[in-house]
Structure 1
Amino acid sequence: MQILHSVRRLLRRPGVATSPVPMHRLSSTSRPLLSFVASAWPHSALARRDFPLTVAPNPALHLISGFSHGSRCMASASGAKGYKSGKPGRRSLISSINNHSAISQGMKKVEARGTSLEVRRRPTKERKWAVVLSNDEEDVSPVEILPKSTHRDGSLYNTSTHVWKRNYRVADRSETRVEPMMLSNPTNCTIRNGRCTQHVPRHMLQCFSIKLAKLFVDSGPVELYGYIAVRDGLDPLLNYVVNLSRDDPIIVEQGSLIKMSGPKRGIDMYNVILIEYDMRIKTGEKEDDDLQLIDGISIIEDMGGIWNCAFTTRIAGDHGEIDFTSSRVRRAVEATVEVTISQVQSSFDLCLRCFIGGFDEEIRLFDGAIGESRGLKRSVIALGEGSTMDLKFRIGAESSAGSAEHGCSFKADTHGHATRDIKTGFGLISVKVTWSTLIHGF
């Protein structure tokens, strides 16, 4: 009943725009709503605080949290204590699944096994959502799929069924209109004590990696295509993190990283973010014959004081599971990384990794062969105010197993840009990082 009551409160919330016309930034100053997530966490102090929701989809993402800068951690049942092992407490996951998932999703099998709990629903064509929690993967939390949010059956596009569909304009398939670097060189700064107080850092989401965690097909490597995108309150149109066409799929196997093509610009982490996905396994000549990997929409919320900690959520689908590793970064700036390779002497392999201050997780920006002068794809990173970003270039000859590593570092700033040149035996690497805060009131 508490869950249903929270849903009704979200749907009755006044002052939420539902018009399909272009919208300004979604914002809330009154912060009146109790997070729907908290209803699944009845003993937590988090359940008794208000969360700054602009638009409140339902149900919410499983509660995930972090405690110390530069670590992987998740909330305990009290929402206040970590674990010496660095892994989440099993009891906290059981509590949320038992109180929320098994109720709201009608799971057919909830089986207690000693101190662990496994919630699993076998893949079927009729399945609309899934929760999978494996006993041997305690640092991965299941994510819920919002009802009536799938692409294949068209339920996502019926905006009359849920208010959040209108608020986030999910029927609009356009890419976000906001560009990166929009405030890299503003003319209306207010400088106090050497700092700009007109354009300030904002909380942002940083995606570290996306991995094909599980495959439910016995075919070895598969051809994968489709997309994963986010919709935020800055501009709810699609901001692609992965975008692969059926004509140009990638070949991956279980456990492989999925190459990220984005995001196009920084992801605003004020309030609710939608993660929209439709990824498929190519199996034949016709798209109708392909297998659905994951399909639907999930959410990530601003969780109050839970920041600067990497966490992994698992999206389960009909024929596999995707792991999405990210972090909520407090007071972040947008760093746009542009790398140019010139004066190429001979072909070489290049792996470019990015590390942001306080995190062990890497962001893989490029991994491939360089045969001629070229620019790499532009990458956008969320970097905490005053922290450092390290870029590491691993370079090796295509015919050799050996490699050498070069690197450069940049300290986050509000505006402007910085450059570095790295000379190697294979060519010249030029790096430009442009700093910007997220634009307000778009």
Structure 2
Amino acid sequence: MSTAATRTAGPDRLWTVDEHLEDILATVRPLEPIELQLLDAQGCVLVEDITVPVSLPPFDNSSMDGYAVRVTDVAGASEEFPAVLTVIGDVAAGQAEPLHVGPGETARIMTGAPLPPGAEAVVPVEWTDGGLGGGPVTGMRARSQSPEGAGGHVHVYRSAEARAHVRAKGSDVKAGDRALDAGAVLGPPQIALLAAIGRGTVRVRPRPRVVVMSTGSELVQPDEQLGDGQIYDSNSFALTAAARDAGAIAYRVGAVADDAETLRDTIEDQLVRADLMVTTGGVSVGAYDVVKEALSSVGDEDEEGAGIDFRKLAMQPGKPQGFGSIGPDHIPLLALPGNPVSSYVSFELFVRPAIRALMGLDDVHRPTTRATLTTDKALTSPKGRRQFLRGTYADGEVTPVGGAGSHLVAALALADALIVVPEDVESVEPGTEVEVVLLG
């Protein structure tokens, strides 16, 4: 492990949150770019600027179902004195050889169809009699009783200005324009644009593959019967969901017993599909030696720079942490504490930024803001620790939910923010402005 290994630290040193995060981000490198099909690239980050090869739309086309006309032929048209035009045929979307509209002529045109030569505007079918005689058509009559093909006449009851109801060539984007910049995350609108300009593949950094596993002999899978002293494994579900929310492809591994050999074998089995590994549990006093033994010899233990550093951080919750790289490919591994709130807060502070860094994003952090603390009594915080309390945020105010206990999952489920109490603050009075990390 590069940066972390260069720091000098004794077993009792308290690392700051910023130091730990700095080591993580200094070690994690963006994944190598690959070429992917559009739908496979959803959620990925572009590594190239995309230039538009063809204008959108590529030709002048109608924005309405109606009739393509010359402006002079419908000038002054009204219900009392309609313009009567000869229908020379239909122009449908995708039609290769459009008709030519001459004086006194019109062509029935569909939405998206190219404006035929000679025509200057489109009059909606509702402004006409649909070629049936009588007044303007509306509703179902407009849609179902219009003539097909050439022949007959149509009465137009309103005039039209040049380019009325015409989408101009290049009115969306023009050939040569920049469609997307490198660094853009590909969501549905971006994929739609790429498809619209004819790109079937795109060069991106792939979504990181994150393997999540919880440790603890007391853990039982949901839907199984609880025995004495057992609890359900919630951490692996929470962290797998959080990894997916961060943009990763996440794989959940069932709870592993507190046994060094079993844990080591499980991690080695998972390395083949991991760009990042996350464990939860077994990093505090008691299970420390078992986890250290397991993680110190995973994969190629002789590989230079590999290894896991276990630390105590000046934060609450989440004091015990582990970070390093394992195996011949130096896969980053973050070992988080086992209490549910501790593991989730640790994920938000350390794992999520690592995932976003692997994706190649410049901004890897959750947004923060300042908010007024609304509570009945002052908040207390341990001296020298940066505390992260769950809260709900709205309209510039934040309200704590639950207590400071790191086991309070129900309170965590209500929270959409973390209230940050700095290391040098031991009490925060109601009405004080505080820093808030927004989780939504």
| Shorter-chain TM band | under 0.3
Give the alignment's TM-score, normalised by structure 2.
Answer: 0.23
Larger radius of gyration: 2
Richer in helix (by share): 2
Give the alignment's TM-score, normalised by structure 1.
Answer: 0.23
Richer in strand (by share): 1
